Amino acid sequence: MALFDWNDSYSVRVKVVDEQHKHLVGILNKLHDAMTKGCAPGVTSPLLQELIAYTQTHFAAEEGFMERAAYPGLGLHRAHHRELTKQVEDFVARHKRGEVALSVGLMNFLRDWLKNHIMKEDKEYGPWLNEHGVQ
């Protein structure tokens, strides 16, 4: 069972961003599936790294679109991105040191953060980007 089922209500109406969000959801679901099946760190750790790397790629792309469109909420949006990045990087460092394991709580945190971020902050910039030529 998927942790996060994508549906059209999550669309920000910017095609490339929606595709990136779907990809993030896919990685998150793979990580959740591996964790719930009890897969070894040799399986889960690369998925966690992939999630982090793709999240950083996505954040950079999203911020680039906002910069080009002179989106007035870019500063706050960027701060939200940095906050999540720091939280996840801190977790990964602790995970690598063997201090914490992947958990349902972490999976739920990541899912909820992504859902809330898309539905609130990302939905706000969609119309602005569309009006400024980003489809």
Give the Cα separation of 124 and 49 in Å (integer).
29
Tens digit of each residue's pLDDT (9 = 90 or more) over 2-38:
999 999 999 999 999 999 999 999 999 999 999 899 8
Give strand ranges (E) for 1-135: none
Q: What is the pLDDT of residues 89-128, one digit of tens each?
A: 888 788 778 887 778 888 888 899 899 999 998 999 999 9
- Top-level CATH class of 14-131? mainly alpha
pTM comes to: 0.91
Q: Is the pLDDT of residue 81 over 90?
A: yes
Report the pLDDT value the prediction gives residue 45, as an integer from 0 to 100. 84
Q: What is the pLDDT of residues 28-45, one digit of tens each?
A: 999 999 989 988 888 888
For the chain, give every domain's residue range. 14-131
Token pair listed for 84: 């999540």
